[in-house]
Chain A
Amino acid sequence: MRVFKILIVFILVSSFAYAQWEFFEHRYKYELSDVLKADRFVKKDGYWEGYSGDRLVGYVFLSKDWTKDLVGYSGKHMETLIGMDTQGRLTGVKVIYHSEPIVLIGLKEDNYKRFIKQYPGKSILTPLRVGREVSMDAITGATVTAVVQNAIITGSARKVATKVGLLETEEVVKRRISQQYMRLNWAELIQTGAIGVLKVEYKDLGLEGKGDYIEVYFGLLDPPTVGRNILGNKRYSELRGRLKQGESALFVVARGEGSFKGSGYARGGVFDRFNIEQGERVFVFRDRDYRILTEVKASGAPDIKEGGVFVIRGEEFDPTRPFKFNLILPYRVGAKKLFKSFTVEYRLPESLLE
Chain B
Amino acid sequence: MSEKKSTDKKGLKRRDFLKIAGAVGVAAGTGVILPKEKIFARSSKAKPGHLSNEVKPGELDDYYGFWSGGHSGEVRIIGVPSMREIKRIPVFNMDVATGWGITNESKKLLRGRYTGDTHHVHGSYKNGTYDGRYLFVNDKLNNRVARIRIDYMEVDAIVDIPNAQGIHGLFPQRYPKTEWVVANSEFQVPIPNDETNVTAFNNPQEYYGLHTIIDAERMSIVCQVLVDENMDLAATDYKGKYSMATSYNSEKGVTISEMLASDYDYLLIFHWGRIKEALKKGNYKWISGVKVIDGRKGHSDIVLRIPVPKNPHGVNVSPDGKYAICSGKVSPTCTVVDLDLVDLAFEGKIKPEECIVAQPEIGLGPLHTTFDGRGNAYTSVFIDSTNVKWNIQKAIEAEKKGPEEKKKKEYIVDVLDIHYQVGHIMASMAETKEADGKWLVSLNKFSKDRFINAGPYKIENDQLVDISGEKLRLVHDSPAYAEPHDCIIVRRDIIEPHVKDRVEMFEHPLAVVESSVERKGNHVIIRMTSTAPVYGLQEVRLKKGDKVTLIVTNHDEISDLSHGVAISNYNINFVIAPFQTKSVTFTADKAGVFWVYCTNFCHALHLEMRMRLIVEP
Contacts and interface: CB of A to CB of B under 8 A. Distances in A.
Contact of B18 (A16, A192, A347): A192
B605 A15 contact: no
A353 B5 contact: yes
A259 B86 CA distance: 24
A180 B12 contact: yes
B563 to A, nearest CB: 13
Interface in A18-60: 18-21
A189 to B, nearest CB: 10
A144 B549 CA distance: 39
A199 B34 CA distance: 7
B16 A351 contact: yes
Q: Interface on chain A toward B: helix, strand, loop, or mixed SS? A: mixed
Nearest to B23: A193
B80 to A, nearest CB: 15
B25 interface: yes
Contacts of B605: 104
Interface stretch (A3-11, A109-117, A145-153, A338-346): A338-346
A48 B39 CA distance: 54
Contacts of A187: 39
B31 A173 contact: no
A16 B529 CA distance: 9
Contacts of B534: 19-21
B74 to A, nearest CB: 26
A302 B28 contact: no
B2 interface: yes
B557 interface: yes
A132 interface: yes
Interface string B189-208: 00000000000000000000
A287 to B, nearest CB: 5
B29 A132 contact: yes
Contacts of A164: none
B277 interface: no
Contacts of B24: 193, 322, 345-347, 349
B54 interface: no
Interface in B1-31: 1-2, 4-5, 7, 11-12, 14, 16-18, 20-29, 31
A218 B559 CA distance: 24
A169 interface: no
A21 B530 CA distance: 11
A132 to B, nearest CB: 7
Contacts of B514: 15-17
Interface stretch (B247-255, B468-476, B535-543): B535-543
Nearest to B39: A187
Nearest to A196: B25
B500 to A, nearest CB: 11
A65 interface: no
Given A340-B31, A353-B5, A345 B26 contact: yes
A20 B610 CA distance: 11
A121 interface: no
Interface in A224-257: 234-235, 238, 255
A342 B31 contact: yes
B501 interface: yes
Interface in A168-222: 171, 173, 175, 178, 180, 182, 184, 186-188, 190-193, 196-201, 204, 212
Contact of B1 (A18, A171, A196, A303): A171
A17 B558 contact: no
Given A19-B538, A180-B12, A300 B44 contact: no
B179 to A, nearest CB: 24
A288 B12 contact: no
Given A75-B557, A186-B39, A16 B31 contact: no
A19 to B, nearest CB: 6
A17 B28 contact: no
Nearest to A171: B1
A340 B30 CA distance: 10
A104 to B, nearest CB: 4
A255 B5 CA distance: 36
Contacts of A342: 29, 31-32
Contact of A197 (B35, B501, B604): B35
Nearest to A199: B33
For this complex, into which size category does the number of interface residues on chain A fall? 35 or more
Nearest to A16: B515
Contacts of A159: none
B377 to A, nearest CB: 29
Contacts of A343: 27-29, 32
Nearest to B16: A351
B42 A192 contact: no
B280 interface: no
Nearest to B512: A17
Contacts of A21: 531, 534
B589 interface: no
A69 interface: no
A351 B536 contact: no
B21 A193 contact: yes
B11 A180 contact: yes
B58 interface: yes
B40 interface: yes
Contacts of A267: 558, 603-604
A141 interface: no
Interface in B41-70: 41-44, 58-60
A318 interface: no
A269 interface: yes
Nearest to A297: B42
A87 interface: no
Given A19-B536, A343-B28, A182 B12 contact: yes
Q: Which one of B23, B25, B29, B36 has the highest number of Cβ atoms from chain A below 10 Å of its Cβ?
A: B25
Given A288-B557, A346-B24, A303 B40 contact: yes
A316 interface: no
Contacts of B41: 300, 302
Contacts of A17: 514-515, 529, 531, 536
B21 A191 contact: yes
B12 A303 contact: no
Interface in A280-299: 287-288, 292, 294-295, 299
Contacts of B14: 182, 184, 188
A193 B26 CA distance: 10
B515 to A, nearest CB: 4
B497 interface: yes
Contacts of A127: 29
A21 B538 CA distance: 11
10 contacts: A17-B531, A17-B536, A75-B558, A104-B604, A132-B29, A188-B18, A193-B25, A198-B33, A234-B493, A343-B32
Closest 7 pairs (CB-CB, A-B): A302-B40, A20-B534, A193-B24, A269-B558, A197-B35, A16-B515, A17-B536
Interface of B: 1-2, 4-5, 7, 11-12, 14, 16-18, 20-29, 31-36, 39-44, 58-60, 493, 497, 501-502, 514-516, 529, 531, 534-538, 557-561, 603-605
Given A173-B1, A182-B11, A350-B20, 11 more contacts: A19-B538, A182-B14, A191-B21, A238-B497, A255-B40, A269-B559, A292-B60, A301-B42, A302-B41, A303-B42, A344-B32
